[in-house]
């Protein structure tokens, strides 16, 4: 397994085509917009090397018998799934933000399970190909991004009925040695700093949409692949590099839009090529695993947010107030409800034909549905307790100014024993972690709220519940 520094060095050897704010970046991993996200991902490597965290951060691969990062490991038991949620909470606590690697991990598990079932039904050899790919990923400790969401054009039309057929990624040519793909994937977390991109379909597809049913692995610097790094709330502050920019880990995951302009993918990297009847299964499984995650990573982030809010209350001299304590208690309740759901979804997992274990889809989707609400409620409480300073605090430059800086320090002072800079750091962290970028990520990441409700209703088995009511109440058919 690599150290964080080795991971960063390995990235610098790559030459991806990355654009940000209208310019192609010659050294993307050192750019202030991207470097914080690289540092966050690097933490996943460093913690995996720390003996104190070995049980949670690493696992024994059933493919090779070697100890590997849990971020490259198949979920081979309920215990693996429970430890994954524990790992996400730990990393959320250590970084206070999104550490990006879980999308690839869930993609690995989804492709592993579905390729097994495609091969069994159709006599293809995708699973063996994917196994070879995964063994290398485990051996080299490769960070993989998961690229699922298409740009989708006119959402009332199927992919193959769009005015521009490229609005969903699809196969445009099949050659004896591989396929050529064209299209775009958007909102892709950690893509710029992932050496491998796992491309997956975005929805289930009938026979007419077979060309859109494609799963494959594409190197970050493949010919024809362009990445455009997205903007975030307050992103220009990263270029100032002071207290105003928040922590050294940035906020959310550093998302990009990936444009695949006739990218050739050799056969050994193709894991689905036209099997539309399995595309929906892949999406559902990926979504179930990833939606459960949010009860882990967001709980870890909220632990830091809660701590920051409590400490700011202390600096403000309000920590002993019963109303403040009650609001902090409400934050705890919301966070632990999400965590409990994620652990419950993992505890009720079932084994798939390919051997890995799938979280309970109903509970997993319920977790994510709760996250879409509770993260906003937690943010509201942090805003309530933090006060108006969260949106009006003067800039770093004003605090550094020879004329007004000392005056600002004097008038923004809090309880004795804390510096004004301590207070500013807390304010900026709370501001960043309750910002539009952060909240929208919690709402739409791993699928928008309505996507969870569709699965919840499907999984809830209402007819069975109606039958229960009939039986208990003695209502005949």
**Closest distance of CB 335 from ligand SF4, Å:** 14
Residue of 31, 40, 58, 98 with catalytic role? 98
**Closest distance of CB 144 from ligand SF4, Å:** 12
Burial 27-60 (b: 16+ CB within 10 A, else e): ebbebebbbbbbbbbbbbbbbbbeeebeebbbbe
Q: Which two tokens stand for residue 107?
A: 């993609």
Cβ-contact 242, 235 below 8 angstroms:
no
Helix axis angle for 436-444 and 361-386, nearest 10°, is 160
When binding is defined by CB under 6 A, the residue of 11, 25, 48, 102 that contacts ligand SF4 is 102
258 alpha-carbon distance from chain centroid:
16
Report how far residue 360's alpha carbon sits from residue 275's, in angstroms, rounded to the nearest whole number: 25
**Closest distance of CB 68 from ligand SF4, Å:** 18
**Closest distance of CB 80 from ligand SF4, Å:** 16
Write the CA distances from 248 to 33, 42, 96, 179, integer angstroms: 11, 12, 10, 40
- 98 in contact with ligand SF4 (CB under 6 A): yes
- 100 in contact with ligand SF4 (CB under 6 A): yes
- 188 in contact with ligand SF4 (CB under 6 A): no
**Closest distance of CB 452 from ligand SF4, Å:** 15
Question: Among this protein's residues, is 294 annotated catalytic?
Answer: yes
Cβ-contact 171, 253 below 8 angstroms:
no
Residue of 53, 102, 117, 151 with catalytic role? 102
Question: Which of these segments, 99-107, 169-177, 348-356, 369-377, binds ligand SF4 (CB under 6 A)?
Answer: 99-107
- 42 in contact with ligand SF4 (CB under 6 A): no
When binding is defined by CB under 6 A, the residue of 253, 254, 361, 447 that contacts ligand SF4 is 253
- Smaller CB distance to ligand SF4: residue 101 or 428? 101
Cβ-contact 304, 353 below 8 angstroms:
no
**Closest distance of CB 103 from ligand SF4, Å:** 5
Residues constituting the chain: 477
Q: Among candidates 468, 145, 471, 473, which has minimal Cα distance to 290? A: 145
Residue of 187, 294, 309, 431 with catalytic role? 294
- Smaller CB distance to ligand SF4: residue 98 or 218? 98
Question: Among this protein's residues, is 297 annotated catalytic?
Answer: yes
**Closest distance of CB 312 from ligand SF4, Å:** 24
Phi and psi at 184, nearest 5°, equal -140, 150
Residue of 31, 37, 53, 290 with catalytic role? 290
When binding is defined by CB under 6 A, the residue of 81, 103, 279, 354 that contacts ligand SF4 is 103
Question: Which of these segments, 79-87, 94-102, 320-328, 430-438, binds ligand SF4 (CB under 6 A)?
Answer: 94-102
Q: Among candidates 74, 72, 100, 75, which has minimal Cα distance to 88? A: 100
- 302 in contact with ligand SF4 (CB under 6 A): no
Question: What's the count of helices (H) and strands (E) in the chain, helices before strands?
Answer: 16, 14
- Smaller CB distance to ligand SF4: residue 167 or 304? 304
The three-state DSSP-derived secondary structure of 116-129 is HHHHHHHCCCHHHH
Report how far residue 46's alpha carbon sits from residue 50's, in angstroms, rounded to the nearest whole number: 7
How many C-beta neighbours within 10 Å does residue 208 have? 12
404 alpha-carbon distance from chain centroid:
41
- 297 in contact with ligand SF4 (CB under 6 A): yes
Q: 198-237 mask for ligand SF4 (x: CB under 6 A)?
A: ----------------------------------------
What is the dihedral angle through the alpha carbons of 293, 227, 165, 290, rounded to the nearest 10 degrees?
A: 0
Question: Among this protein's residues, is 268 annotated catalytic?
Answer: no
- 445 in contact with ligand SF4 (CB under 6 A): yes
- Smaller CB distance to ligand SF4: residue 159 or 361? 361
Question: Among this protein's residues, is 144 annotated catalytic?
Answer: no
Q: Which two tokens stand for residue 127?
A: 């699973």
Question: Among this protein's residues, is 189 annotated catalytic?
Answer: yes
Question: Which of these segments, 16-24, 273-281, 293-301, 412-420, binds ligand SF4 (CB under 6 A)?
Answer: 293-301
Phi and psi at 178, nearest 5°, equal 165, -165
Cβ-contact 178, 169 below 8 angstroms:
no
- Smaller CB distance to ligand SF4: residue 58 or 194? 194
- 189 in contact with ligand SF4 (CB under 6 A): yes
Catalytic residues: 98, 102, 189, 255, 290, 294, 297, 441
Contact positions vs ligand SF4 (CB under 6 A): 98-100, 102-103, 189, 253, 293-294, 297, 445
């Amino acid at each position: 397994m690599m150290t964080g520094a080795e991971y960063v060095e390995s990235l610098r050897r790559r030459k991806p085509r990355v654009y940000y704010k209208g310019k192609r970046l010659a050294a993307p991993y050192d750019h202030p917009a991207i470097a914080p996200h690289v540092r966050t991902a690097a933490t996943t490597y460093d913690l995996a090397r720390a003996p104190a965290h070995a049980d949670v951060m690493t696992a024994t691969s059933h493919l090779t018998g070697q100890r590997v990062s849990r971020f490259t490991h198949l979920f081979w038991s309920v215990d693996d799934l429970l430890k994954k949620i524990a790992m996400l909470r730990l990393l959320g606590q250590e970084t206070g933000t999104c550490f990006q690697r879980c999308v690839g991990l869930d993609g690995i598990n989804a492709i592993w399970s579905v390729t097994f079932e495609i091969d069994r039904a159709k006599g293809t050899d995708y699973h063996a190909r994917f196994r070879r790919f995964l063994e290398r990923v485990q051996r080299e400790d490769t960070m993989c991004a998961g690229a699922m969401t298409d740009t989708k054009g006119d959402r009332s039309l199927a992919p193959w009925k769009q005015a521009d057929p490229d609005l969903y990624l699809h196969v445009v040519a099949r050659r004896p040695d591989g396929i050529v793909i064209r299209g775009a994937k958007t909102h892709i977390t950690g893509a710029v700093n992932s050496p491998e991109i796992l491309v997956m379909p975005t929805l289930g597809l009938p026979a007419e949409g077979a060309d859109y049913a494609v799963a494959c692995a594409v190197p970050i610097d493949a010919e024809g692949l362009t990445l455009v790094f997205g903007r975030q709330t307050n992103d220009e502050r990263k270029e100032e590099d002071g207290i105003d920019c928040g922590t050294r880990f940035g906020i959310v995951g550093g998302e990009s839009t990936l444009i695949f302009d006739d990218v050739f993918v050799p056969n050994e990297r193709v894991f689905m090529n036209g099997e539309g009847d399995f595309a929906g299964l892949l999406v559902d499984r990926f979504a179930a695993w990833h939606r459960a995650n949010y009860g882990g990573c967001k709980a870890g982030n909220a632990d830091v947010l809660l701590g920051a809010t409590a400490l700011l209350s202390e600096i403000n001299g309000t920590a002993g107030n019963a109303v403040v304590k009650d609001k902090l208690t409400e934050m705890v309740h919301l966070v632990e409800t999400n965590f409990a759901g994620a652990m419950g979804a993992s505890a009720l997992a079932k084994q798939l034909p390919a051997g890995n274990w799938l979280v309970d889809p109903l509970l997993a989707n319920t977790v994510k549905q709760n996250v879409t609400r509770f993260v906003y409620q937690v943010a509201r409480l942090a805003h309530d307790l933090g006060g108006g300073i969260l949106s009006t605090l003067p800039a770093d430059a004003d605090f550094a100014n020879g004329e007004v800086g000392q005056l600002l320090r004097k008038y923004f002072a809090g309880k004795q024993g804390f510096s004004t800079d301590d207070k500013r750091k807390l304010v900026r962290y709370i501001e960043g972690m309750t910002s539009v970028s952060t909240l929208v990520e919690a709402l739409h990441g791993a699928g928008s709220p309505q996507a969870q409700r569709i699965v919840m209703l499907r999984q809830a088995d209402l007819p069975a519940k109606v039958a229960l009511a009939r039986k208990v109440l003695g209502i005949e058919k």
